[in-house]
Chains A and B, each alone.
Chain A
Amino acid sequence: MELEIDIIDIRKLVNTIKMVYGFDFGEYALSSFKRRLARIIEVYKFDNMADLIEKVRVDKPFYELFLKEVTVNTTEMFRDPSMWKKLKETVFPVVKDYSTIRIWHSACSTGEEVYSMAIALKEAGLYEKARIFASDINEDVIAKALEGKYPARNMELNGFNYEKFEGKLKLNHYFKSTGDYVFMDQDLLRNVTFRKFDLVQGDQTMRFDIILCRNVLIYFNLPLQDQIVGKFAKCTSQGGFLALGSKETIAWCKSVDNYNTFSLEEKIYQRK
């Protein structure tokens, strides 16, 4: 197991970053943040936290790298297939007659979620009227999402999820395999726009009918979750949807009153 990190050193690091770069990690959930720091210390061979703090302080490019390394980017296509099924069977029918369906993947990571949405929309005959915005704080994962190149070994799980979602075809209809990698059909991105966006500091000016914010709030403490869900409430159309990860909830957020619970099991909320 990795080296034990003192909470006092974590505070020092957080304060340094806040002072020098204006970004506040103070509201990140401690256990996972601590583990990410331990990993960075190991991978970049620092002797201790003091060295890491100093490097981050004086070396801006390293700080940019640090930001990327701190984020957790694990993702899957059709993660929680039952959520995607719910989306297809109960959310799509609500929005199907809209002239455009505006969708925001607010923490898209390497793009698996975006391709899943594009596939689900295509199969529902709704892709043409969809405008999909996909963002993440980490530019490297956005670049990967755009490329749509995934390790072939991930496709077993992705395919398994797609089957449970009860997709119309086989997942391999949507990609080409070449050895160790597969390449997603780029036509799926025709109506997708990617951009870098920070959920903590960014201000969203567009409005959306469906917002996905899955498995990123878990890395924040409750006050920060509350603040971000509050921002979502402002940029969701009336009757629009917010979908969280299967174990995330807005129950403890102030803006809970702005939403009806559309699916408790799948954590889909509907804007009043």
Chain B
Amino acid sequence: MSNYKAVVIGGSAGSFPLVVKILSSLPKNYPFPVFLALHRLKHIRNGFVEALSLKSNIPVIEPHDKEVIKPGIAYLAPSNYHMYVELGNTIALSTEDMVKYSRPSIDLTFDTASYIYKDKMVGVIVSGANTDGAEGIKRSKERGAFTIAQNPDEATIKTMPDAAIKAAEMDKILSIDEICKFLVSIAN
């Protein structure tokens, strides 16, 4: 097994089917936690986690504040909260102001996760219509994380992967199928 400890995925408009695909390709008992920082319909609390769970091989939950992080679980940033990876292997939530018009903010999940996991983190940015995530993945890269952007030519909306690629030199630029394969391969 590789020495990674966490996978962080950021996405916005157009990312839903991609994230479903990723979650359905990961094996049961995936050895790392997967953090999902996805923009969502504002103030609609219900439905999203259920929709993501349908085809996922690993449980998808919206964590409570200070929930202990476990491998093999996908943590979806809850509606109207930023999701942080906190010291002590827990998740912390926050209602701080929106960042780039977003709460949850992809930048903030990437920033806090890479602060904790450093080079043991894999960060992935997929389709989206704004530049949230670019700063976060840049910071992640500076801290040694392995960074991946979805190939913008393939993304439904390429603004977000484009911004990520511009902000920092990605370790890989991959199609969604390749991203799935990669995330599976690091578990073996």
Q: Which residue of B lies closest to A82 (CB)?
A: B45
Stretch at the interface among B10-18, B33-41, B59-67, B180-188: B59-67
Q: Are B94 and A247 in contact (CB under 8 A)?
A: no
Contact flag A218-B92 (CB < 8 Å), given A32-B84, A157-B43, A252-B66:
yes
Residues of A within 8 A of B63 (CB): 247
B2 on interface, CB distance cutoff 8 Å? no
Contact flag A31-B45 (CB < 8 Å), given A215-B95, A247-B64:
no
Residues of B within 8 A of A157 (CB): 43
CB distance from B63 to the nearest CB of A (A): 7
Q: Are A218 and B65 in contact (CB under 8 A)?
A: yes
CB distance from A170 to the nearest CB of B (A): 18
Residues of A within 8 A of B88 (CB): 221
Q: Are A222 and B86 in contact (CB under 8 A)?
A: no
Q: Are A29 and B92 in contact (CB under 8 A)?
A: yes
A132-172: CB near B (< 8 Å → 1, else 0) gives: 00000000000000000000000001001100000000000
A243-263: CB near B (< 8 Å → 1, else 0) gives: 001111101100000000000
Q: Are A219 and B66 in contact (CB under 8 A)?
A: no
Residues of A within 8 A of B45 (CB): 80, 82, 246
> Complex Cα distance A57/B66, Å?
31
Q: Are B111 and A1 in contact (CB under 8 A)?
A: yes
Q: Are A219 and B78 in contact (CB under 8 A)?
A: no
> Complex Cα distance A251/B87, Å?
20
Residues of B within 8 A of A222 (CB): 66, 90
Determine which residue in B45, B93, B97, B135 has the highest number of CB atoms from chain A within 10 A of its CB, and name it: B93
CB distance from B82 to the nearest CB of A (A): 8
Q: Are A160 and B94 in contact (CB under 8 A)?
A: no
B112 on interface, CB distance cutoff 8 Å? yes
Q: Are B65 and A74 in contact (CB under 8 A)?
A: no
Q: Are B94 and A246 in contact (CB under 8 A)?
A: no
A20-52: CB near B (< 8 Å → 1, else 0) gives: 000000000111100110000000000000000
Q: Which of A74-107 contact B (CB under 8 A)?
A: 74-75, 79-80, 82
A225 on interface, CB distance cutoff 8 Å? yes
Q: Are A29 and B86 in contact (CB under 8 A)?
A: yes
> Complex Cα distance A12/B95, Å?
26
Q: Which residue of A lies closest to B88 (CB)?
A: A221
User: Quick one: which of B43, B78, B86, B96 contacts A72, CB cutoff 8 A?
Assistant: B96
Number of CB contacts from chain A to chain B under 8 A: 74
A182 on interface, CB distance cutoff 8 Å? no
Q: Are B87 and A30 in contact (CB under 8 A)?
A: yes
A211 on interface, CB distance cutoff 8 Å? no
Residue total for A at the interface (Cβ-Cβ under 8 A): 30
B48 on interface, CB distance cutoff 8 Å? no
Residues of B within 8 A of A30 (CB): 86-87, 92
Residues of B within 8 A of A29 (CB): 66, 84, 86, 92, 94
Residues of B within 8 A of A79 (CB): 80
User: Quick one: which of A161, A218, A252 contacts B94, CB cutoff 8 A?
Assistant: A218
CB distance from B103 to the nearest CB of A (A): 9
Contact flag A248-B111 (CB < 8 Å), given A31-B92, A161-B43:
no
CB distance from B113 to the nearest CB of A (A): 10
CB distance from B70 to the nearest CB of A (A): 15
CB distance from A213 to the nearest CB of B (A): 12
Q: Are A74 and B135 in contact (CB under 8 A)?
A: no
Given contacts A218-B94, A246-B78, 13 further A-B contacts (CB under 8 A): A29-B66, A29-B94, A31-B92, A31-B115, A35-B108, A36-B96, A72-B95, A74-B96, A75-B95, A221-B88, A222-B66, A245-B65, A248-B65
On A, residues with C-beta under 8 Å from B are: 1, 29-32, 35-36, 72, 74-75, 79-80, 82, 157, 160-161, 215, 217-219, 221-222, 225, 245-249, 251-252
A-B contact pairs, 17 of them (CB 8 A): A1-B139, A30-B92, A31-B84, A32-B92, A35-B94, A72-B94, A74-B95, A74-B97, A82-B45, A218-B81, A225-B66, A245-B65, A247-B64, A247-B65, A247-B93, A249-B65, A252-B66
Q: Which 4 A-B pairs have the closest CB atoms?
A: A31-B84, A218-B65, A1-B135, A32-B94
On B, residues with C-beta under 8 Å from A are: 43, 45, 62-66, 78, 80-81, 84-88, 90, 92-97, 107-108, 111-112, 115, 135-136, 138-139
